[in-house]
Amino acid sequence: MTTLAQVIEIASRLDHLATCAEWIARETVHTDNSISQTGTLISVLTEDIREKVTALVSELEQIQELGGSH
């Protein structure tokens, strides 16, 4: 599996996790507040992970560009 394919797979899994977490938060908001808050937390953490992966990929691309220009 190529690096790009791995990054795409990670993004896909993060999308699925975020969708599930948002659904859990919505469906439990009136019945179980702690579960709803956990769903919201998972959603927020998913976005944080997505941002960190994006930053890491960008940094690696910059390093590759710098290395390729010499």
Q: How far is CA 42 from CA 1, 2, 16, 25, in A?
A: 28, 28, 11, 9
Give this prediction's pTM.
0.81
Task: Provide the token pair at 2.
Answer: 């190529």
**Confidence bin at 69 (pLDDT 50/70/90):** low
Whether the pLDDT of residue 21 is over 80: the answer is yes
- What pLDDT was estimated at residue 40? 97
Q: Which domain covers residue 16, as residue numbers? A: 3-68
Task: Tally the domains of the chain.
Answer: 1
**Confidence bin at 70 (pLDDT 50/70/90):** low
The Cα 10–Cα 27 span in angstroms is 26
